[in-house]
Structure 1
Amino acid sequence: MAETGIGALLAQLRDDLGWSQQRVAEEYNKAEGRSAMTGKEIGRYERESRVPTSRTRGFLAVVFEVDPLTLDRAAGITKRRKAEGQSLNVPTPRDRLLAPPSRRALAADASASARFSRFIASRNTDACAVEQLDAEVFSLARLYVSRPVSEMYAGIRGLRDEAFDLLRGRQRPRQTSDLYVTAGRLCGLSAHVCLDLGDYACAMTHARTAWACAEEADHNGLRAWVRAVQSLISFWDGDPRTAADFARAGQSFPAPGTAGVRLVSLEARALSMAGDRDGATAALRRAEHARDYLRNEGEMPGMFGFPHAKQLAYAGTTHLSLGDSGNVRQAITCAAAAVDLYRGAAADDRSTGDLRAAHLDLVRGHMLAGDVDAAEAMLTFVLDSPPALLSASIRRRLSGLADDLAATQYRGSSRVAHLRERIKSTAASTALPANDPPEPMT
């Protein structure tokens, strides 16, 4: 191994610190307490046109925080080369690599490793925090089905923004993936808020972000649920064909629990509204088959699940849309069973929207069957509901029912006319304003 002279050693020590020759001279003068050393003189030492004296080497050892003997040995090598007449060229990078690093250089290198270690450890969340966030999301999802949107909006928005902020920071890869799932679920709940308030454009924006989160997390369960949300939005936005497409797309993602039943049920309902009787009937059969073979895998809570009562409510709506007498009878059977199941459920698991939707399907079914008394009883339950529990979809169903009651076969019936006026009055009184009210003048 080639020996390192004083020039290569001094140049290496300076390079380790990233200093200029002038900076070395300034540090030297501080150590010596004088101002005699210059950058040019340091350059002469590095080129070995001069060899620093023993006293000078002592102060240089202080500057570079190395053992003075290291500099003395390097100076001896340079002197021997000169005595032997060897060529003394400017030290090459290879020469510098052969010089041992100084304690200061080693400390700086260790400090860089320590900084990276702190970077690795600097997390803005941990497994417990992510678990707690999930618990809060599931609580919101469960309560959403039974509470007015006005009570849920702030909590969903606040928790969603918290998840966004955490994702903008740093976490372990597994926690990042879990946070994307959580953020996706919260975006989906935000989409439901907009959907229930009748703002379908904003609902779809939230749903697209939920889909982006599902993709980032590579989570098939979330993908399937988001496609179901997008199907719902398209359906109530008056585009049943696109709703059916979203529902079919969601079925390509294997997901546990009732996700498959939800998507097939959405497809059946959308196809029936689009006038595709054969497609709707086939999808209904697939939904019934999927219900029969459901395994108890621990159903997701509230908005993330698709309980038996909701399955029956969707089936009832689909049968009703198909319209013939056999399907109307089946619709009444499904809707009545859904109502019974919801009435028997715990208060927090009783979907106010689906319960009222099933009542309105019973109203339409009984009217088609000629049972006005039964229809009026079901309708009264909905019309007497607190306005905060009447979502945009329920108001749309009411408006559609009012149009149905204007049909020729009901003309001349004062009782039907009265029901129609009650429906129109309720729908009008619960309609949301197109824009927020203006701020008061100050």
Structure 2
Amino acid sequence: MSRQVKPGSKPYRAQLRDRLAALGFPEAAMPARVAENLIVECRIPPRTAWRLASELSLDVAAHHYNAVTGDPRAGMRGTRIWEYEQWPERGVRPTVAALRVLAQVYGTGWKSLLGLRDLEQLPAKDLAEYHAEPEQAAAPVLATPEPPSRPARTSPRDEGRPDADIGAGALDDAILLTKTNVDDVQLDDLWSDLDFLGGAYTRTAPESILGQLAVIEERSSSLLKGRQRPKQTQDLLLVGAKCSAMMAWIAGDLGRYWLSRELNSAAWLYTQYADDFLARRWVRTSQARVAFWSGNGVESAKLAADGLNYHVGGRLTDAPLILAEARGWSSVQAEPQVLDAIARWTSIEDPELGAGGEDRFFNITKDRRHYMAGTSLLSVGQASAALREFSTAREAYEKLSLESRWEAMDPMIRIDTGRAHLRLDDLDGAAAQVEPLLATDVAKQPEMVRAMLKVLAGELAGPRWREAATARNLAEALLDAQSSARR
């Protein structure tokens, strides 16, 4: 190459094409020659090499894939092509049918999209099909000579230096700053996937969402290792922050608190480099939630209070953080702090506020807001006030469309409504709330549901209800449900 550029980068490929053109190669032969060079000289895996040689982004390649199949809505996405390119080290193994379509997109044969490590991991049936297919005539691989060494720069104070050499290469060096391994389509795709998964969480198995978020995190961190413009770098950092915070939240729902704390630490590090207040709110919201459910209420309250220091003008409302602060203090029965936080929340609560938009994952719905208020009040002895909040939470939950409901809210509201009835000496009211849970599959619920079942069972087995057969039977049934879910 005439100048030192990153192997495999767009400037590298452009210079390689210029050299091939100078040698008389026609334009139609360029992609194959470029792909071979990227594979041999740059050690880029075949599927990635052919896409880059075709000068296609992941999303444009997916668009062409759908066009080749004859159905623009076929569903291929840039993220799936990226997963194909990561295999076999990670990612997803492409089927032979998918390889054939990709080969048409790139203008090659499907066998050229497989390297030695791919072949070693292919199922026997696919390997047999590989060997049964006739070999295509291969173009000879071009070896790239070592780039000529650049002349050593002399001191700018060298009086004998010609004026023509002063600043030589400065423009080329500056232009390198405009080169990027990211385009707006890729960034839009990352944000779109995050927004989709944030909305799908209420109706999809947590394990599935966690796995899909992990793919987004891998993509964004991989892109960050390349060169971007400053704004693109910040966008990738924000994607990393939000994705890691969402993963931490979900890992906590699954009871994996060690993983949650590690993910939240990664998310906070992303925010420090992005220097973005909204991102800091995302992470503090997730950290406060994980701290509370892992048993550190005071830390949860302090994290939530710190999150309120980052003012972002309505995109992520104060309500989730204020209620997290109240809930954190409630764990140590700090009644003045709880009541103060509940009063602050009441003064800003908007009954019509939904949880739509790009931050809906963290902007919790009305049913969850009133539930959090109720649990905080219940923990400091305000059972009647808590019961009113749970009643409002129940009404709000039932008004939500089925796809907007978080299914864990129904058992959580029932459990804590039952606890409020117990505090008011209403055992029958508590039983009426809790008995429907015994007919459900508790194993499918998040960890906090099972934790609260154990708390309720303990309260039913306490001195106040020890002589009541209804309480004893209900406590035993709840413990059985809770313990069987752990098996």
Q: Same fold (TM over 0.5)?
A: yes
- The amino acid of 1:219's aligned partner reads D
Distance 1:94 1:190, change over 3 A: same
Is 1:252 matched with 2:317?
no
Distance 1:144 1:381, change over 3 A: farther
Aligned equivalent of 1:423, options 478, 481, 487 = 478
* Count of residues in correspondence between the two structures: 330
Q: Residue 218 of structure 1 corresponds to which residue in structure 2?
A: 275
| Alpha-carbon distance, 1:199 to partner | 2.1
Map of 1:298-337 to 2, 5 A cutoff?
A: 299-323=357-381, 327-337=382-392
Q: Deviations over 1:39-75 (max 9, x none)?
A: xxxxxxxxxxxxxxxxxxxxxxxxxxxxxxxxxxxxx
| Alpha-carbon distance, 1:316 to partner | 0.7
Map of 1:34-433 to 2, 5 A cutoff?
A: 94-95=159-160, 97=162, 114=172, 117=175, 119-255=176-312, 256-292=314-350, 299-323=357-381, 327-431=382-486
The 3-state SS of whatever aligns with 2:181 is: coil
Q: Report if aligned partners of 1:257, 1:298 keep a CA contact under 8 Å in 2.
A: no
The 3-state SS of whatever aligns with 1:145 is: helix
The 3-state SS of whatever aligns with 1:198 is: coil
Q: Report if aligned partners of 2:210, 2:251 keep a CA contact under 8 Å in 1.
A: no
Q: Which has the higher contact order (CA 8 A, sep 6+)?
A: 1
| Alpha-carbon distance, 1:394 to partner | 1.2
Q: Deviations over 1:59-92 (max 9, x none)?
A: xxxxxxxxxxxxxxxxxxxxxxxxxxxxxxxxx9
Distance 1:137 1:383, change over 3 A: farther
Give the whole-Å Cα distance in 2 for the aligned partners of 1:133 and 1:240: 34
Q: Report which stretch shifted further, 419-428 or 119-128.
A: 119-128
Q: Deviations over 1:21-52 (max 9, x none)?
A: xxxxxxxxxxxxxxxxxxxxxxxxxxxxxxxx
Identify unmatched segments of 5+ residues in structure 1: 1-91, 433-442
Give the whole-Å Cα distance in 2 for the aligned partners of 1:297 and 1:145: 12
Give the whole-Å Cα distance in 1 for the aligned partners of 2:353 and 2:404: 20
| Alpha-carbon distance, 1:387 to partner | 3.7
Distance 1:334 1:185, change over 3 A: same
| Alpha-carbon distance, 1:197 to partner | 1.8
| Alpha-carbon distance, 1:93 to partner | 5.8
| Alpha-carbon distance, 1:210 to partner | 0.9
Give the whole-Å Cα distance in 1 for the aligned partners of 2:244 and 2:455: 30
Q: Report if aligned partners of 1:265, 1:284 keep a CA contact under 8 Å in 2.
A: yes
CA-atom RMSD, angstroms? 2.7
Q: Deviations over 1:325-358 (max 9, x none)?
A: xx21121111122122122212232112233222
TM-score (norm 2): 0.63
The 3-state SS of whatever aligns with 2:232 is: helix
Distance 1:409 1:122, change over 3 A: same
Give the whole-Å Cα distance in 2 for the aligned partners of 1:151 and 1:405: 35
Q: Report if aligned partners of 2:316, 2:362 keep a CA contact under 8 Å in 1.
A: no
Give the whole-Å Cα distance in 2 for the aligned partners of 1:304 and 1:397: 22
| Alpha-carbon distance, 1:295 to partner | 7.8
Q: Which has the higher helix share?
A: 1
Q: Residue 6 of structure 2 corresponds to which residue in structure 1?
A: none
Give the whole-Å Cα distance in 2 for the aligned partners of 1:97 and 1:115: 20
Distance 1:328 1:257, change over 3 A: farther
Give the whole-Å Cα distance in 1 for the aligned partners of 2:336 and 2:324: 15
| Alpha-carbon distance, 1:292 to partner | 4.8
Identify unmatched segments of 5+ residues in structure 2: 1-156
Q: Report if aligned partners of 1:225, 1:259 keep a CA contact under 8 Å in 2.
A: no
Give the share of equivalent positions with the same residue, in percent: 23
Q: Residue 20 of structure 2 corresponds to which residue in structure 1?
A: none
Distance 1:297 1:401, change over 3 A: closer
The 3-state SS of whatever aligns with 1:352 is: coil
Give the whole-Å Cα distance in 1 for the aligned partners of 2:438 and 2:213: 28
Q: Report if aligned partners of 1:225, 1:304 keep a CA contact under 8 Å in 2.
A: yes
Give the whole-Å Cα distance in 1 for the aligned partners of 2:475 and 2:187: 50
